[in-house]
Amino acid sequence: MQQFFKKYFVIFLGCASMLISCNNHPTGVVVKDSENVSEDKTAPYVEGNKNIMRRENEEMQMFISRYGFQMERSGTGLYYKIIDEGVGKTFVEGDRVTMKYSTFLLSGEKIYDSDSLGIKSFIVNRSEEIDALHEISHKLRKNASAILVIPSYLAYGVAGDGDKIAGLQPLVMTVSVVDNSKYNQISHIVNFD
């Protein structure tokens, strides 16, 4: 009886092996690993994104050089200059930040400001605001002010804002943190004419 089961077990294993190998390569065609195929498909996009980032960075550096700004660059690619240090502790995740602002294109054209649209008030790292404002908030205190030169991926990205900011558009912002009803405005410092 034992030999009977051994014999059928060997036959079963042989058939199972043939079925598995037939299913993997039904016509003798070798199938490529899907990971390698997807890498090949995304390579041009990755290179394209690198070129876009490189071009934007060159444009931002030309802007900074043209106006003689001495700016720092964060690890994410945000250029910034703290104009006024402000008072107290820097903001952390979960703090509410209220600020006046002006937004410019790299051409120097002002497109938005808090005088016409109202001040921005948001919770750091927990609200829908451009990434650059969340990032710079960690470096600001009450009554602080700064100038930012922002790559598109930290602003409105590929899509733009659907109004005055096109996709892949680097921006310049001046921001002043508001302490209660006291406004510390720096737009008079920056003149792009």
Q: What angle do CA 130, 154, 113 make, to 5 degrees?
A: 50
* Domain presence at residue 136: yes
* Tokens describing residue 38: 């997807």
Residue 26 lies in a domain: no
Give every CB contact of residue 77 below 8 A, 6+ residues apart in sequence. Answer: 53, 57, 151, 153, 154
Rounded Cα–Cα distance for residues 89 and 104 (Å): 28
Alpha-helical (H) ranges within the chain are 2-24, 34-67, 114-117, 131-137
Question: Which residues in the chain come in under a pLDDT of 70?
Answer: 1-40, 180-193
- For residue 93, the enclosing domain spans 48-177
Q: Identify whether 25 is part of a domain.
A: no
Q: Which helix (H) or strand (E) holds 161?
A: none
Residue 2 lies in a domain: no
Beta bridge partners of 82: 146
The greatest distance separating any two alpha carbons of the chain, rounded to the nearest whole angstrom, comes to: 99
Number of domains composing the chain: 1
Place of tokens 């598109």: 152
Residue 107 lies in a domain: yes
Q: What is the CATH number of the domain that holds 172?
A: 3.10.50.40
pLDDT the model gives residue 49: 85
Amino acid identity of 3? Answer: Q
Judge whether 108 lies within some domain. Answer: yes
Residue 189 maps to a domain? no
Compute the distance between CA of residue 33 and CA of residue 102 in angstroms, rounded to an integer.
51
* Predicted TM-score of the model (pTM): 0.72
For position 191, what pLDDT does the model report?
57
Residue 184 lies in a domain: no
